[in-house]
Amino acid sequence: MAALNQGMSSLGGKDAPLSEAKSMAKSPSAPRFIIIGAGSRGQKYADATCSATGGIISAVAEPIESKRNRLGRKHIWGAEGPQEGQAFSHWREFRDYEVKRREREAAGEKNVPKGVDGVFICVLDELHKEVVVALAPLDLHIMCEKPLACSLDDCLAIYRALKGHDKKIFHIGHVLRYSPHNVLLRRLLLEERAIGDINSVVHTEPVGWWHYTHSYVRGNWRNSETTGPSLLTKSCHDIDLLLWLLCSPTKSGQGENHLPSYVQSTGGLQYFKKSRKPAKAGDATNCMKCPLGDEGCKYSAKNVYLSDRYQGLGTGNLDWPVHIVAHDIEDFGTRQEQEDALTRVLEEDYDKSTPRNVVQSRNWFGRCVFESDNNVCDDEFVTITWDEQGDKPAKRVAFHMVAQTEKQCDRHATYYGEHGEIHADSKCITVTDFETKNVKSYNPKVEDIGHGGGDVGLTRQFVLACERVKNDGWQAERAQHEILGCTLEDTLRSHAMVFAAEEARLQRKVVDWADFWEREVLEGVNA
């Protein structure tokens, strides 16, 4: 692994088109993968692997039987049921099996099932460190869903565990890098220099008013004590995207980097707290018993999950967010049975006598959004500043993560340059030239709605990188640069920027980036 530095990598340009993996046949030598964690993200990566690459999903590890079987039936064993080495109830079971499988293979035993070449790690954020560190000795290609881990210490532990991983690919689920929209945006900014030097950027991530309550008030990422701050769990790939666009050389691993000078942040939990609770709701802590009723509060769990509004069961939707609340919703045959199953989950609540560890151990989707145990920011600004360095002019970026929006994760940004400006709203990119007054618009084709095609794009590039190493004799480092455009060092750096911003926010100070990198990252890597 190359020495750790502060540079950023870029996507590998014309030598690694996003569509290349489509031509890979499902051959016996195609890379084989296990999905660890068959929730929403695991299902998404399995779907993308099977539909858009030549890779093979050959195993799944998931403790919830209905999730494990749903993914397995769709992508692995069909109606026949799982065979040896295809289904595991826990990632540890897979690890132990794989160690013994290799021993059997080395001993010359016949008919030993094929192993896997790589793994998609899609477990809960707080488990990433444990799983990656435990699987590192297996020397498999790894794609870990973002964020890398919930603390900088855990990120550093992963880095140390993978130091000797030079012959294999490691990737992170920063899907924004791989959407056709952002690939084109980067080309316009860095390769074509459509607006010359970038002076500043204003980038907004609108989370969505009810989406935020689902994930960050009632759901997995509501409390920084169990996962991490919302800047990490929601926006780490926005910070990564901005560093990729503003730090990196045009081609990965080639040229100098323009590193940030300092970072500032302000934000907090402004709205979803008890002091903002409507008085008419009284002492109710659960939406199913609230005196406001269905029409009295737009955040009512009935409205979000049961009604024909938004993406509730009443619309006929059994996918996200409905199946997050009741993971076995598809196992119920009638609409009434589905509604009853969903209602039972929504009616579950806790009170003052419930142990704190029990409250934190699961999600409470029927809980009043003003009475939850959430503590993460619902509004935050981050400002990153670059000083002039050699021939690279000064610049700065203002990032805004905001919960109270109609748009749902439909990011928009404006890039202000010396010769013009670019406005990008996740669907259209508009370039304006100051001198000529010319305005040109681009509408990149989106083949999948997941992060503007980024889910498919990332999966395709990861599988292709693994295929190049397995079948074409490429070194992993070459595949990381030319196909993924992202290294483990890049991943660590963008996460470190998130934690630097959190230090700035919590301590109400300006954080010097070089000092933070030396103090918190390099010392930790060498610990």
Q: DSSP assignment of 202-247, as one string? A: EEEEE--HHHHIIIIISSTTS-TTTS--HHHHTTHHHHHHHHHHHT
Per-residue pLDDT at 339: 96
Q: Closest Cα partner for 270 from 313, 226, 217?
A: 217
Closest by CA to 247, choosing from 503, 489, 526, is: 489
Task: Provide φ and ψ at 271, rounded to 5°.
Answer: -115, -45
Interacting residues of 274 by C-beta distance below 8 A, sequence separation 6+: 370, 371
The amino acid present at 423, given as its one-letter code, is H
- Residue 169: helix, strand or coil by DSSP? coil
Q: Taking a C-beta distance cutoff of 8 angstroms, is the pair 32, 117 a contact?
A: yes
Cβ-based neighbour number of residue 475 at 10 Å: 12
Tokens 């750096």: give the residue: 493
468: phi then psi, degrees, rounded to nearest 5: -65, -40
CATH superfamily entry for domain 13-176+452-486: NAD(P)-binding Rossmann-like Domain (3.40.50.720)
- How many Å apart are CA 107 and CA 167, to the nearest integer? 24
Q: What is the pLDDT of residue 111?
A: 92
CATH architecture observed for domain 180-272+375-449: 2-Layer Sandwich (3.30)
Give the DSSP H or E segment for 515: helix 513-516
User: Which tokens is 6 given?
Assistant: 């502060």
Ramachandran category for residue 462: left, alpha or beta (phi over 0 → left; psi -120 to 50 → alpha): alpha
- Other Cβ atoms less than 10 A from the Cβ of 290: the count is 23
Mean pLDDT by 10 residues, the chain (527 residues): 48 41 61 96 95 95 94 94 96 98 96 96 97 97 97 96 89 95 96 97 97 96 95 96 88 81 97 95 94 86 92 93 92 94 96 94 96 97 96 95 95 97 95 97 82 89 96 95 93 96 98 96 84
In this prediction, residue 89 carries a pLDDT of: 97
Q: Are 199 and 205 in contact (CB under 8 A)?
A: no
Question: How is the beta sheet containing 87-88 ordered, strand by strand?
Answer: 87-88, 56-61, 32-36, 118-121, 141-144, 170-172
Contact 466, 483 (CB under 8 A): no
Domain ranges of the chain: 13-176+452-486, 180-272+375-449, 282-360
